Amino acid sequence: MTALLEVDGCTKRFGGLVANHDVTLAIEPGEIVGLIGPNGAGKTTLFNCISGRLHADEGRIRFAGADITRLGADRICHLGVARTWQIVRAFGRMTVLDNVMCGAFGRTNRTSEARVRARRLLDFTGLAGHEPVLAANLTLADKKRLEIARALATQPRLLLLDEAMSGLTPLETAAAVDLVRRIHAELGLAICVVEHVMEVVMPLSHRVVVLDHGEKIAEGEPRDIVRNELVIRAYLGDRYGAGR
C-alpha cells in the first residue's frame, strides 16, 4: 500500500448513464500515468471524482493514505492534488501574475510570499514577461501553461492534466511535453495525463490506463498497450496501433 493515489472500485452515475464503472487504478509517487480512451469514456469524470469536483457514488479514493472520497475540492487540493481543466479556466479578467498567486494563496496568506512563488512558477512555465497581461488575452497555449502554473502554485504531489495539449500546434505541443517532463524531473511530481494525441502520451507515460464506456479495459506499459487488441479495437484503431 505504497501508492500515492488509490482509486478502488469507483463508480459515478449521471442519472441512468454510468460514466465510471468500478474503476480501480493506482499512481505511485513520481510516476507519469497516461489515461486514455475514446470521447465520453469517463476520463474527465474520473479526474472530477479524484479532485473533489464530483463525488463517486461507489468505491473509495485514497490519497497519501487519507480517504478523500467525500472531501471537498479545497481539502483535496490542500492534501496535494492539483488539476487543470479540459476547457481552460483561467480567470480571464485577472492578470497572469494574479492568476498564479490565487494558487499560491492555497498555501500562504502572505501576499509577498505568494508573489515570489508565482513569479518563480511563471519563470518555470515560460510565462515570465507576461505578468501584467490579462489572462483572457493570452494564446490558448499560454492559457494552458497558466493553468499548469496556477496548479503548481498549490504545491501538489499529484498533478492531473486534462488534455493540456489539445488544440496546440506541433511546436506548442513539443514545448508542453517538455514542460511536463521538467515538472516530473525537477519537481518530482506524480502526473496523470489525459491526452488524445498518442504520439505525445505514449512516449511520456511510464504506464497507461485505458477507459472505454466508463470501464478500465487495459493497463500496462505503453509498448504493450499499443499492441493490445481490445485497446486497438476500442480506441487506437489503425492510426497508432497498426504495425507496432
Ligand X SMILES: Nc1ncnc2c1ncn2[C@@H]1O[C@H](COP(=O)(O)OP(=O)(O)OP(=O)(O)O)[C@@H](O)[C@H]1O
Which residues in this chain contact Mg ion in the complex, by CB under 5 A?
43-44, 86
Among residues 31, 30, 17, 34, the alpha carbon closest in space to that of 197 is found at 34
In the complex with ligand X, which residue's Cβ is closer, 89 or 120? 89
Residues 56-95 that bind ligand X (CB under 6 A): 86
Which of Mg ion, ligand X, none has residue 45 at its interface (CB below 5 to 8 Å by kind)? ligand X
Handedness of CA 120, 122, 124, 127 (dihedral sign): negative
- 207 counts as binding ligand X under rule CB under 6 A: no
Give the three-state DSSP class for 198: helix
Q: Which of 4, 44, 121, 164 binds ligand X (CB under 6 A)?
A: 44
Cβ 137 to ligand X, closest distance in Å? 26
Q: Contact at 8 Å (CB) between 137 and 170?
A: no
Among 39, 87, 186, 243, binds ligand X (CB under 6 A): 39
**Contact by Cβ (8 Å): 107, 98:** no
Other C-beta atoms closer than 10 Å to the C-beta of 174 total 13
Q: Which does 11 bind (CB under 5 to 8 A by kind): ligand X, Mg ion, none?
A: none
CB closer to Mg ion out of 48 and 155: 48
Which one, 24 or 86, has the nearer CB to Mg ion? 86
CB atoms within 10 A of CB 34: 23
Cell of 82: 492539483
Q: Which of residues 13-32 bind ligand X (CB under 6 A)?
A: 14, 17, 19
Kindly report the three-state secondary structure assignment for every residue of 91-120.
CCCCEHHHHHHHHHCCCCCCHHHHHHHHHH
Nearer to ligand X, 48 or 125 (CB): 48
Which DSSP category does 1 fall into?
Answer: -
For residue 209, the minimal CB distance to ligand X (Å) is 12
User: From the list 9, 30, 40, 106, which residue makes contact with ligand X (rule: CB under 6 A)?
Assistant: 40
Task: Pick the closer one to ligand X by CB: 34 or 37.
Answer: 37
In this structure, the strands spanning 207-212 and 32-36 are parallel
CB of 35 to ligand X, least distance (A): 9
Select 11 or 86, whichever has its Cβ closest to ligand X.
86
Please, what is the minimum distance in Å from the beta carbon of residue 194 to Mg ion? 6
DSSP assignments along 117-134, one per residue: HHHHHHHHTT-TT-TTSB
Chain positions contacting ligand X, by CB under 6 A:
14, 17, 19, 37, 39-45, 86
